[in-house]
Amino acid sequence: MNASTLPILAIPDDRSLFPVLSLAWRTDPQHEREARELLAKGLAQSDRWGHPWRQITGDSGSMILTVAAEQPRLERWLHAVADESSRVKSGLVSKPMIAMVGKLAGAENLLATATDLCGAKSSQPMTLPSKMQQNSVEGYQRTLITGEDPIHHAGAAASFLALCLLTGGSWALLPKLVEDLGNAATAQISRNLIQRGPAITWQGICQGTGGMQVFEYLVHALPSQLKSIGEDQVQELKHFGLANLSRAWRSPTELAHTASQYQVMGWGPSLITDAHSELGRVTRDDLEHAMDCLLRPVLEVLGRS
């Protein structure tokens, strides 16, 4: 089997005596709580005396279960997971994606068991139509625009850096630009799963009814702001991005969880395993293209595509 198509992300790490497995499922927001409770209940029954460490998290359409235990126990546990998750209605969750962090020598059986359990990597990008929702509460209008995550068109690293440019570091463009607008306006962008595919959500809030003006301004101002950024600032941006991605390596459990999260959210797990070279390859053109892709849902709902 070609390693790049393996559904398991195996990361060698010798810091802990216990291998760490992280399993991630895609679900739907309306089923997230139900699926999480069912899995937790089933797993509690299947492993009466617990593991040395276990964590269940989930939001934005995903559920992540991370476990540290000695290898034979993990193998037994994986079989229990296979049983329990097969009892969870298939409509509730996808097949899991798996990340493993630990000493890989001698872990062949564990990896084989994990491979049997997981789903194949989704390689076909899903077409997600851009949508807008608006509502007003106590004189403030909230506008939500959802659409496709740019990762399939712009690549994982450029998409990540474009998002950093919008929201991270002291240069964060979004709050600065929106502050210029006045009118108590705010704008945010986040990544999530919609219909179990990678998506982005823009949120604009302003006083009165000027919700669309926020986005009109952003589609006009963001590309020109990006063009005015010098090469030094692009390097600073990459440094900032690298620091954020490298933080996952602080501990084996954090690494397994984050790798699993990048897998299930479709953000490109190679950003975690190989951040330095992934970010290093991003050119200025890549960054501009990624920004255009991030703005595409906004342009589409504005009728400018």
Residues of the shown chain interacting with other proteins in the complex, contacts defined by CB under 8 A: 15-18, 49-53, 68-70, 168-171, 236, 239-244, 246-247, 249-254
Closest approach of other proteins to the CB of residue 49, in Å: 4
Closest approach of other proteins to the CB of residue 151, in Å: 21
When the beta carbons of 71 and 213 are compared against other proteins, the nearer one is 71
When the beta carbons of 95 and 103 are compared against other proteins, the nearer one is 103
Both structure tokens of 123: 């390689």
Rounded CA-CA distance 120/263 in Å is: 12
When the beta carbons of 140 and 249 are compared against other proteins, the nearer one is 249
Query: Which residues on neighbouring strands pair with residue 201, listed in sequence order?
Result: 146, 190
Closest approach of other proteins to the CB of residue 73, in Å: 8
When the beta carbons of 9 and 206 are compared against other proteins, the nearer one is 9
When the beta carbons of 71 and 186 are compared against other proteins, the nearer one is 71
Rounded CA-CA distance 207/121 in Å is: 44
When the beta carbons of 168 and 204 are compared against other proteins, the nearer one is 168
